[in-house]
Amino acid sequence: MPEGTTQPFVTHVLKAEKIVFSEYDHHIQRRLSAMKGQYLDQAAYQALLAREDALLYEVYEMRRPEVPGELLFGLSIVHPGIVGQEYFMTKGHFHTVLETAEVYYCLRGEGFMVMETPEGECKVEALRLDSVLYVPPRWAHRSVNTSSDTDLVTFFVYPGHSGHDYGSIEQQGFRKLILARDGRPEIVDNPRWHSPEKRKK
Amino acid sequence: MPEGTTQPFVTHVLKAEKIVFSEYDHHIQRRLSAMKGQYLDQAAYQALLAREDALLYEVYEMRRPEVPGELLFGLSIVHPGIVGQEYFMTKGHFHTVLETAEVYYCLRGEGFMVMETPEGECKVEALRLDSVLYVPPRWAHRSVNTSSDTDLVTFFVYPGHSGHDYGSIEQQGFRKLILARDGRPEIVDNPRWHSPEKRKK
């Protein structure tokens, strides 16, 4: 469907071995090489990257005008995998317009949404089939797939004028990490996290 | 969860014989008596109402502050049934702030979304399991359940500041009706529809 259409339209979520939209405007594929500096175990990251620039996650998006009152929506698909002890995850971002929310509906798999405000308040919520997660305005968010063999698939909706700020998280990281310990996910403090106080200096 | 919270939260879509949220702020139940004047066959409407004030549809809503940047979301459940030749349906509404969109994800059942602009442009889209429907800003919308035995269940998201204008549709109706003809749904012109031109007079 043409970007900027004012006509209603339908797409279908096709649930086979992969989950995809029947129609979409945009398909983003994020590989390991796009996550430089984001994983705690840098040696494991480099070793894995030397072997293969693995596909970490994909996004199918329906583009709409990026203005207030409009809604952007799509599918996020985080593949299973691990870098050192850390699960495959999305880059994570704030919205450029901080005062914008996001809603996620989990369609397959299991994992966590790691969230954080600019002031350093943090929260981690579990996702499983048919979980609906509300991310309030001001909260950065990152999806983490903790399954060993299944995609973490979410359907997301956010306001048209939100925008994406990836830079802040690239620099400061999230306060919490999800690590595999004895084969089970554990929420731990990120030793490399930059607190808002440190960041000011 | 308290209205106006700034904390992330999760609710779960529980899919048993009925589909419900595990947690919600608001549960709306709309009965036949709330649809006075909306059905084409007024005699059938009155006869049915005399027998029972049937439950037509329910909405489970998560309340959020009604401001731009926020998102309101919930479940809409239209039960199966018929009034004369016309299927059970929602009241249908414009958003008070016309320039706001809405996104629907169909979780169960089958039916149609009947849509219309203030200028009288109209469109009808079919809904079935895993259909994702985008309703652009300016389009009034009504869900119609065409199944004889299954709820039509949709998950919806719309901007916090949208508001609901039910009055316009109550007065003018929708341009298109979905009628059962030989047991199958048919899209027909609404003979009682008030065109924008007529409405001006």
How many of the other CB atoms lie within 10 Å of CB of B70? 20
For residue A200 the two structure tokens come to 């000011």
A-chain CB neighbours of B99 within 8 Å are 69
In this predicted structure, what is the pLDDT of residue B185? 98
Q: Which of B129, B134, B138 to mutate to test the interface with A (most CBs of A within 10 A)?
A: B134
Q: Chain B 130-169, CB below 8 Å of chain A: which residues?
A: 130-139, 155, 157-160, 162
Distance CA B10, CA B147 (A): 31
Is there a contact between B101 and A133 if contact means CB atoms under 8 Å apart?
A: no
CB within 8 A of A46, min separation 6: which ones? none
CB within 8 A of B157, min separation 6: which ones? A71, A73, A103, A157, B71, B72, B73, B102, B103
pLDDT in tens, A114-124: 999 999 999 99
pLDDT in tens, B162-173: 999 999 999 999
Contact B94, B167 (CB under 8 A): no
A-chain CB neighbours of B127 within 8 Å are 10
For residue A199 the two structure tokens come to 């960041």
Predicted ipTM of the assembly: 0.94
Distance CA B59, CA B63 (A): 12
Residue A189: closest CA among A180, A177, A197, A179: A177
In this predicted structure, what is the pLDDT of residue B199? 66
Q: What is the largest CA-CA distance in chain B?
A: 52
Q: How far is A21 from chain B (nearest CA, A)?
A: 9
A-chain CB neighbours of B131 within 8 Å are 10-13
How confident is residue A1, by pLDDT bands cut at 50, 70 and 90?
A: very low
B-chain CB neighbours of A104 within 8 Å are none
Q: Chain A 36-75, CB below 8 Å of chain B: which residues?
A: 62, 64, 68-71, 73
- What residue of A is the nearest CA neighbor of B102? A71
Is there a contact between B159 and A132 if contact means CB atoms under 8 Å apart?
A: no
Q: Which of A99, A114, A130, A143 to mutate to test the interface with B (most CBs of B within 10 A)?
A: A130
pLDDT in tens, A149-158: 999 999 999 9
Closest to A12 (Cβ–Cβ): which among B101, B113, B130?
A: B130
A195 has a pLDDT exceeding 90: no
Is there a contact between B126 and A10 if contact means CB atoms under 8 Å apart?
A: yes
Distance CA A129, CA B26 (A): 23
Mean pLDDT of A18-41: 96
How confident is residue A5, by pLDDT bands cut at 50, 70 and 90?
A: low
Is there a contact between B123 and A8 if contact means CB atoms under 8 Å apart?
A: yes
Instruction: At B181, give phi and psi (nearest 5°).
Output: -125, 120
Contact A195, A120 (CB under 8 A): yes
Residues in chain A, total? 201
For residue B85 the two structure tokens come to 């030749």
SS3 A172: helix
Is there a contact between A100 and B131 if contact means CB atoms under 8 Å apart?
A: no
In this predicted structure, what is the pLDDT of residue A196? 77
Closest to A105 (Cβ–Cβ): which among B14, B97, B155?
A: B155
In this predicted structure, what is the pLDDT of residue A200? 60
Closest to B99 (Cβ–Cβ): which among A7, A69, A115?
A: A69
B-chain CB neighbours of A12 within 8 Å are 130-132
Q: What is the mean pLDDT of chain B?
A: 94
Tell me the average confidence (pLDDT) per consecutive run of 10 residues in chain B, 201 residues long. Answer: 70 96 96 96 97 98 94 98 97 97 98 96 97 97 98 98 95 96 95 79 52
Q: Which of B71, B124, B162 to mutate to test the interface with A (most CBs of A within 10 A)?
A: B71
Cα–Cα separations (whole angstroms), residue B53 to A199, B89, B121, B170:
62, 15, 33, 19
Distance CA B88, CA B81 (A): 5
Q: How far is A28 from chain B (nearest CA, A)?
A: 19
Angle, vertex CA B163, rays to CA B162 and CA B167, nearest 5: 130
H-state helical runs in chain B: 42-51, 167-172, 196-200
